Amino acid sequence: MGTAIADQDEQIDKIAQDTGAPADLVRVQYMETLRTLAADARVHDYLSLFVTRRVMAAFRPRRTPG
């Protein structure tokens, strides 16, 4: 298993690749979301999972009903 920073970098790269968003923009969003969630988290075991899900959702194209 890699270091936390290496794991974050992998997640950021994957999100950028999957969504087509620029990696720099994904990194900013990822780190902001991580700070926000970590501030209130009692347990940090699944924090990266929750951060990844939120950032992925933020970069997914919005569907409009029609």
pLDDT average, residue stretch 10-24: 95
Residue 6 has pLDDT above 90, yes or no: no
Can you say how many angstroms the Cα of residue 25 is from the centroid of all Cα atoms in its chain? 11
pLDDT score, position 61: 77
Query: Could you give the CA distance from residue 50 to residue 46 in angstroms, rounded to a whole number?
Result: 7
